[in-house]
Structure 1
Amino acid sequence: LVTPGYQEALGLRLRQGRLFTDADLSDGTRAWVVNEEFARLYLPPQPVGYRFEQRPPTGPEPTEIVGVVANVLKDGNDRRPQPEIYRVLRDSARVFSRFEMVIRTDGAPTSVAPSVRAVILNAAPSAAVETVPLSQRVVESVDQPRFAATVLATLAGLALVLASVGLYGVLSYGVLQRRRELGVRAALGAERRDLIRLVVREGLGVTLVGLAIGLAAAAAATRLMQSALFGVTPLDPISFAAAPIVLVFVATIACLLPAARAAAVHPSEALRCE
């Protein structure tokens, strides 16, 4: 139950039709504004203008859908939007144990809070009044998800660093173990750039096979986390591209630097060292 102006004050985006006006307080036909989720689940493709009749104990009430507004994630960003109906509060004498007022101001919300409190207490001295800026409610609603995202991002960053260090160590060690082979190839006439290209190609081949297996496993695992994601898909291309790009870069450096050093050694020296 809302009053005219509620949706404008809250900044709800109108998708179809119109919002409530003062005329809806007295018209014989009851006006409803619904959100997109309600319209998707229960109404025809063109919901505005849809009429039906309610039958409460007080008698039949002709009702019309006059507008559709955007969904609001009232239960948190990790929950699907719920179907909602906005109805005009016609009975001003109705008593509520608790209700919320939305006040929109051009200035700082905290500057009008004392005046709002004074007006309410003047009308209802025994009322318990709490004034909270909407921005604070938004921050509180994302505190826990933000903390979880920060922890997961930190752990993911550490995992990427460890994977990069391990990959660099394994590939560079493998190249150093092939010094004799590279010396033999150089003695048989292989040019330095050919040796470097050979080592880098083989190192990247192993890396790409590992990345393919890892990405397939990650794609399967992310579907288990779908309910915890907001604003991104389980197969978000940026997330899936970042780690492979870093690991391919590390693998290239891990192969390129040791290969360049090994290829620069004279063949006779490389063979003598072995």
Structure 2
Amino acid sequence: VPAIHASHVDLSGALKTEGSGVLGGTGRSRLRSALVLVQVSLSFVLLAGTGLLLQSLAKMRNANPGFSTDVIVSVTDLFSAGYNLERAKLFHTQLLDRVRTLPGVESATLNRVTPFSYKVYSSAPLEIDGYQPAPNEQATSEYNEVGENYFATIGIPIVSGREFARTDDERSPPVAIINERMATKYWPGKNPLGQRLKVKDRWMEIVGIAKNANYRTKLEPPGPFFYVPLRQNFGVQNSLLLRTREKPGAIMNALAREVHALDPNLAPWPASPLQEQIDEKSYSQRLAVTLVSIFGAMALFLAAIGLYAVMSYSVSQGTRELGLRMALGAGTGDLLRLVISRGLRLTTAGIVIGAIAALLLTRLMSNLLYKVSPRDPVSYGSALVVLVGVALLACFLPARRATRIDPVRALRT
């Protein structure tokens, strides 16, 4: 009778009720699984965010700002030295003439505000010949005071008209060079050359049109912008720009000698390529990448440890079930799939939740992204691949241990 009864045992039901650690779980096991779910979700959000920021930073680094970034920038502090306007004008004129004769210097100029520096551009309301503003519209634009040869030195092409000349000084009629964006906004379909704009009660004739360029950051598209001759709007403090074949260190020594020859009490600040100022302006993006990457790595590590712990606990609690399956003919591959599949189910659920959260949260990063969509598939796909790879590794170790269980000993426990 016992033998007949044993022959009718429901092996499927027995496997489902034996040791719930592999296929199911106790309340405590479910709590562990829930924590792993949260860790995986958080890891996905942070990994996706890291991918977005890394792509943005790479594109920003490689983007052309519209000018040459290897131009050398140097500043001599005339404010602290007590220079007045006339003395500063004489100093800068003489320094520029001396620097242009230095070996290796191809071109040199001055400007009041260097692109991507922390100085503020001049800005003023405009009155434009032939332009009728809309109701409640006040035409305004930023502008910069630049010296002769500025565009040739910094590498901004003049698409129409001419560069500023040394003769564009306070004794000459006021002139201006506008960028393409300003030309299309205020003179659509027309030739702006020879037209006039009024700034601070002074009419200026447009003598050139320059290519658009970034002035403060690569995150913003170029807006209307114009340039006026520095010799018609001189200030005490200006920056020296050099296009040279020499390295910054070598040109710095020569520049210091020229400054010292003009005034022994002065010394120029260290010269540096314009690229360094551009890199400084991307500091917030680089800091965001660093922080998100650190937190992402920590969350990924915790998720991997959590998955490993949950699967190890499941294997230890399901020893009898695994032994029974082996006794009934389950192979190594069957046991590996059994253990790993549960870990991947946890990972998949966490990824789905994390992807939904990432789609909602990455919108908050839009102001840090450059030409990258907050829903960029490459970033999300990379996060998916990394998480699945880590999950497989975290689940494989407990699964391999499960294949080494002695079925006879397991059934006796």
Shared fold per TM-score greater than 0.5:
yes
Report the alpha carbon displacement of residue 211 of structure 1 after superposing the two structures with TM: 1.2
Q: 1:224 to 1:151 in 2, by over 3 A?
A: same
Report the alpha carbon displacement of residue 208 of structure 1 after superposing the two structures with TM: 0.8
Mapping of 1:197-208 within 5 angstroms? 197-208=337-348
Are residue 17 (structure 1) and residue 159 (structure 2) matched? yes
Q: How many equivalent pairs are there?
A: 263
Name the % identity.
31
Structure 1 unaligned regions, length at least 5: none
Report the alpha carbon displacement of residue 104 of structure 1 after superposing the two structures with TM: 1.5
1:31 touches 1:65 (CA, 8 Å); kept in 2?
A: yes
Mapping of 1:162-201 within 5 angstroms? 162-201=302-341
Report the alpha carbon displacement of residue 98 of structure 1 after superposing the two structures with TM: 1.9
Which residue does the alignment assign to 1:212? 352
Which residue does the alignment assign to 1:34? 179
> Which structure has the highest helix share of the two?
1
Match of 1:226 among 329, 343, 366: 366
1:29 touches 1:62 (CA, 8 Å); kept in 2?
A: yes
Provide TM-score, normalisation by structure 2.
Answer: 0.51
2:312 touches 2:398 (CA, 8 Å); kept in 1?
A: yes
Q: Distance in 1 between matches of 2:164 and 2:183?
A: 24
Which residue does the alignment assign to 2:49? none
Between stretches 125-134 and 2-11, larger displacement belongs to 125-134
Q: 1:127 to 1:39 in 2, by over 3 A?
A: farther
Match of 1:70 among 202, 213, 220: 213
Q: Distance in 2 between matches of 1:5 and 1:46?
A: 29
Report the alpha carbon displacement of residue 257 of structure 1 after superposing the two structures with TM: 3.2
Which residue does the alignment assign to 2:251? 112
Give secondary structure in 2 for the equivalent of 1:226: helix
What amino acid maps onto 1:245 in structure 2?
A: V
Report the alpha carbon displacement of residue 147 of structure 1 after superposing the two structures with TM: 4.7
Q: 1:71 to 1:139 in 2, by over 3 A?
A: closer
Q: Distance in 2 between matches of 1:174 and 1:105?
A: 68
Report the alpha carbon displacement of residue 103 of structure 1 after superposing the two structures with TM: 1.3
1:88-142 superposed Cα distances (whole Å, 9 cap, x missing partner)? 41x7365412222211111022333354455567668898854532355445445
> Which structure has the highest strand share of the two?
2
1:243-269 superposed Cα distances (whole Å, 9 cap, x missing partner)? 433332232233333333323434332
Q: Distance in 2 between matches of 1:205 and 1:46?
A: 61
Which residue does the alignment assign to 2:32? none
Q: 1:200 to 1:148 in 2, by over 3 A?
A: closer
What amino acid maps onto 2:237 in structure 1?
A: R
Give secondary structure in 2 for the equivalent of 1:63: strand
What amino acid maps onto 1:272 in structure 2?
A: R
What amino acid maps onto 1:108 in structure 2?
A: K
Report the alpha carbon displacement of residue 213 of structure 1 after superposing the two structures with TM: 0.6
Q: Distance in 2 between matches of 1:123 and 1:254?
A: 70
1:168 touches 1:250 (CA, 8 Å); kept in 2?
A: no
Q: Distance in 2 between matches of 1:193 and 1:136?
A: 56
What amino acid maps onto 2:153 in structure 1?
A: A
Report the alpha carbon displacement of residue 69 of structure 1 after superposing the two structures with TM: 2.8
Q: Distance in 2 between matches of 1:254 and 1:92?
A: 69
Q: Which has the higher contact order (CA 8 A, sep 6+)?
A: 2
Provide TM-score, normalisation by structure 1.
Answer: 0.72
Q: 1:3 to 1:86 in 2, by over 3 A?
A: farther
1:43-96 superposed Cα distances (whole Å, 9 cap, x missing partner)? 67878x44553245455x453662323324x2x56x53562523241x736541
Are residue 5 (structure 1) and residue 149 (structure 2) matched? yes
Q: Distance in 2 between matches of 1:24 and 1:34?
A: 21
What amino acid maps onto 1:218 in structure 2?
A: A
1:18 touches 1:68 (CA, 8 Å); kept in 2?
A: no
2:163 touches 2:208 (CA, 8 Å); kept in 1?
A: no
2:311 touches 2:339 (CA, 8 Å); kept in 1?
A: no
Give secondary structure in 2 for the equivalent of 1:104: strand
Q: 1:201 to 1:2 in 2, by over 3 A?
A: same
Structure 2 unaligned regions, length at least 5: 1-144
Report the alpha carbon displacement of residue 161 of structure 1 after superposing the two structures with TM: 1.4
What amino acid maps onto 2:149 in structure 1?
A: G
Match of 1:101 among 240, 243, 246: 240
Between stretches 183-192 and 216-225, larger displacement belongs to 183-192
